[in-house]
């Protein structure tokens, strides 16, 4: 299981603008901490224990991506600082800039060897296609890596 950091020690003082986004980042940290200590309901499979963490990690990276690339709220300096201090997943954000990966949930889902049969993760299959091929309703179509319900760009 990859260790997703929830606590930070800053090597350098944060650049200007950090105080503006700090409350939001603190909220993410608090949620991550809570998720890490929360026991999984007894009837759920073990692999689901990391889903919540993945989700929060994704949301926080997304937040940084949005405030820098979309809303242009923060400086390049602060953006780089945030990534250096692991507030966002640099590799995941790099994927979001690529066509077809705009909504990618986590890097595991595109590493073919990590998925069940070395095929594309179920969450990368467009929902429209999925409905046709998976007529058996009630089947859990969430991916085992992070619990994603679908992150193809066409969804
Ligand atoms: Zn996904
Ligand atoms: Zn997946």
Output 98 or 133, whichever has higher pLDDT.
98
Considering every ligand atom shown, identify the ligand nearest to the alpha carbon of residue 142 and give its number: 2
**How close is the Cα of 7 to the center of ligand 1, in Å?**
26
**How close is the Cα of 141 to the center of ligand 2, in Å?**
9
**How close is the Cα of 76 to the center of ligand 2, in Å?**
30
**Could you give the CA distance from residue 26 to residue 15 in angstroms, rounded to a whole number?**
17
**CB proximity list for 46: less than 8 A, separation 6 or greater:** 40
What pLDDT does residue 30 have?
A: 96
Distances (CA, A) of 137 to 66, 115, 133, 140, 152: 35, 22, 11, 9, 20
At residue 12 the predicted structure's pLDDT band, cuts being 50, 70 and 90, is: confident
Residue showing tokens 């606590």: 7
**How close is the Cα of 140 to the center of ligand 1, in Å?**
14
Q: What is the pLDDT of residues 60-82, one digit of tens each?
A: 999 999 999 999 999 999 999 99
Per the CB < 8 A criterion, the answer to whether 106 and 44 are in contact is no
**Could you give the CA distance from residue 91 to residue 27 in angstroms, rounded to a whole number?**
23
Per the CB < 8 A criterion, the answer to whether 147 and 48 are in contact is yes
**Could you give the CA distance from residue 130 to residue 2 in angstroms, rounded to a whole number?**
29
What's the token pair of residue 9?
């020690």
Output 65 or 2, whichever has higher pLDDT.
65
**How close is the Cα of 123 to the center of ligand 2, in Å?**
4
Q: What is the pLDDT of residues 96-118, one digit of tens each?
A: 999 999 999 999 888 865 545 56
CA–chain centroid gap for 11, Å, is 25
At residue 3 the predicted structure's pLDDT band, cuts being 50, 70 and 90, is: low
């Amino acid at each position: 299981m990859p260790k997703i950091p929830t606590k930070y020690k800053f090597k350098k003082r944060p650049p200007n603008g950090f105080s503006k986004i700090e409350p939001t980042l603190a909220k993410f940290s608090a949620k991550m901490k809570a998720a890490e200590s929360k026991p999984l309901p007894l009837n759920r499979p073990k692999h689901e224990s990391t889903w919540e963490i993945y989700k929060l990690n994704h949301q926080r990276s997304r937040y940084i991506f949005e405030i820098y690339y979309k809303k242009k709220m923060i400086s390049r300096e602060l953006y780089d600082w945030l990534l250096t201090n692991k507030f966002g997943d640099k590799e995941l954000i790099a994927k979001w800039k690529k066509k077809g990966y705009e909504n990618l949930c986590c890097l595991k889902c595109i590493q073919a060897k990590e998925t069940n049969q070395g095929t594309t993760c179920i969450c990368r299959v467009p929902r429209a296609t999925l409905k046709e091929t998976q007529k058996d309703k009630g089947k859990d179509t969430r991916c085992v890596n992070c619990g994603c319900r679908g992150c193809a760009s066409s969804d």
